[in-house]
Amino acid sequence: MEVDYSVNPASASGPNDPSAYRPDPQAFALINALQKFTIASDHYAQLVGGNNKMMQRDMYALRAIMQGSLAGESLSPTDLAKAVNLSTPATTALIDRLVKSGHVTRRASETDRRRVVLEATPKAAEDGRRMFMPLAMSLMTVIDRYSPEQIALLTEFISEAVDAVHRSAEASKVEE
């Protein structure tokens, strides 16, 4: 039996009704592949994090802090809470764990001494390399099979897909 992947406006209750849209088979296969990649990479992060006594959310927090630093921005605890989608008390507990493990320090902002900012330590960078370099090297063997033009297209697609996820998440938030 062949599946109908076309738009079915008669069954739709509005423009955002998922029942109205059936992606073509290639698009559906791509979305499925992205979901499999997400699950596989999450599993890898859980595995290496567990081996290093780190929770996955802690690794997400470290990544946010390190990316902020690379962009020349220092994250405050409030910024971090937004980045990892945690409450203030949960973020405080997360930061306390990262400070205790030697991965993060708290310091006063250079521009506003009342503001606390977070910095990743050299230990965080070292542990991150140790945990994620094997995955990066494995992915590079896959990436090396593609031309620079194909890599640019894939990079553009993934960036746009990430933006689509963020837009969907924002649209799905429930007002309190």
- Whether 20 and 9 have beta carbons less than 8 Å apart is answered as yes
End-to-end CA distance of the chain: 45
Max CA pair span of the chain: 67
What digits encode the pLDDT tens for the residues 47-101?
998 888 888 899 999 999 999 888 988 899 999 999 999 999 999 999 999 999 9
Q: What is the pLDDT of residue 101?
A: 94
Residue 136 banded pLDDT, cuts 50, 70, 90: very high
The predicted pLDDT at position 20 comes to 65
Supply the pLDDT for residue 174: 66
- Per the CB < 8 A criterion, the answer to whether 41 and 27 are in contact is no
Q: Which residue do the tokens 């930061």 mark?
A: 95
Domains by residue range for the chain, with CATH: 57-145 (1.10.10.10)
